[in-house]
Copies of this chain bind each other. A is one copy, B any other.
Amino acid sequence: MPQHNATEFIKKGEKEYLHHLSIDCVLFGYHDRHLKVLLLKWKDAEKWSLPGGFIRLDENLEQAATRILNERTGLDEIFLQQFQTFGEPGRSYRSKEDVAHLSTITNAAMGPDHWLLKRTVSIGYYAVTEYSKVNPQPDHLSDECTWCEIDAVPRLIFDHNLIFSEALKALRMQIYHQPIGYNLLPEKFTLPEIHDLYETILGKALDRRNFAKKIVSLGLIKKLNERKSIGAHRSPFLYKFDKRRYDKALREGMILAF
């Protein structure tokens, strides 16, 4: 039962969602050596936030997070990771200004007991996607939904800056224990491409030769007898993921060091 507008959401949401709980998603987007994060801008204000939402009465947490991201991006089959739960009292709607603004943009009177204004504990999820084909859609409360370079994240509402930075920390930790890239690279990709991916996510330079040795020795990718033509340069070999081994590494973990 999708809400058709913000006013309805404010009024009817009370009966459709779990109170005191929300989900915030940090969706990282990778493309061409850039790592970005999906942000929303509140209507008629310079207030930015992470995409978030509430949990339906009978929905599990991961489904809810998937739905929230799907509504903003159209993406399906997002590989989500729950990373932390944030519950400081007063973490949301601490300022009267935020409340007044919410009231204005939703055109709804909200008493202090309104369900949306109650103390809310937020479960944080993150995911990574290839962003070049995503067309971000604002939600009811926003007039903009856009990718933002992770080094240029503005001040966000509530504790969303904390949530973002914890997500980035978790992502960078995860990359040492689980494979990454299957959804971020084309089916066939070159070593320089996956090398750029790792450098971008980790935010640091990795020696080309050592990287190639390690990534190949993990056995998750295999070299093809094809090259990619990249113009006035030597043509790099193409590789593809060995899906069996990739999935095994996803399940069982691995150890990587750079």
Q: Give A contacts to B, CB under 8 Å.
A: 18-21, 55, 57-61, 82, 84-85, 87-89, 119, 121, 123
Contacts and interface: CB of A to CB of B under 8 A. Distances in A.
Given A21-B121, A61-B87, A82-B84, 10 more contacts: A18-B20, A18-B121, A20-B20, A55-B87, A55-B121, A57-B119, A58-B89, A58-B119, A60-B87, A85-B85
Nearest to A17: B20
Contact of A85 (B18, B58, B82): B82
Most buried by B among A57, A87, A123: A87
A251 to B, nearest CB: 13
A118 to B, nearest CB: 9
A127 B167 CA distance: 23
Classify the secondary structure of A's interface with B: loop
For this chain, the copies found in one complex come to 2
A61 B119 contact: no
Of all A-B residue pairs in the complex, the 5 with the closest CB atoms, nearest first, are A61-B87, A85-B85, A18-B20, A58-B89, A85-B123
Contacts of A84: 82
A218 to B, nearest CB: 18
Most buried by B among A57, A84, A85: A85
B20 A59 contact: no
A76 to B, nearest CB: 21
Most buried by B among A21, A57, A84: A21
